[in-house]
Amino acid sequence: MFLISCPFCGPREESEFSYGHEGHIARPADPDSLSDAEWADYLFMRKNPKGWHYERWNHARGCRRWFNVARHTVTHEIRAVYKMGDPPPAIEP
C-alpha cells in the first residue's frame, strides 16, 4: 500500500485509485493507414520496466479525475504527479 497525491484532492491511499496503464501513448494521426501489426502494437504493446514508469491513474473512489504519475515500479516511489496533457517531467535515475 502506498500514498498517491491526487492533484485535485491531495494524498490518499492507493486503494482509492485505479491504475490506467502506461501514460503518453499517442493515438495514431492517420488510423486508416496503419497495418494490422501497427494497430496491434498501438493497442497492446506496452513497456514493462523495472524502474521509472510514466502512468495514468484515476481517482476512482474520489474525484474520479485522471492524471499522470511518474512511479518507480519496484519501490513505488512517486517522483511526480501531473495533469493530463502536461508533458512528462524528466526523472533522474
Q: Which one, 24 or 83, has the nearer CB to Zn ion?
A: 83
Q: Cα 80–70–38 angle (5° rounding)? A: 140
Long-range CB pairs of 81-85 (<8 Å, 24+ gap) are 81/4, 81/5, 81/6, 81/7, 82/7, 83/7, 84/56
Tell me the C-alpha distance between 27 and 91, whole Å.
24
**Which range binds Zn ion by CB under 5 A, 1-9, 24-32, 39-47, 74-82?**
1-9
Q: Which three cell numbers stand for residue 40?
A: 496491434
Residue 63 as a binder of Zn ion (CB under 5 A): the answer is yes
Residue 9 as a binder of Zn ion (CB under 5 A): the answer is yes
Residue 67 as a binder of Zn ion (CB under 5 A): the answer is no
Q: Which one, 52 or 62, has the nearer CB to Zn ion?
A: 62
For residues 25 to 54, the per-residue mask of contacts with Zn ion, x marking binding by CB under 5 A and - elsewhere, is ------------------------------
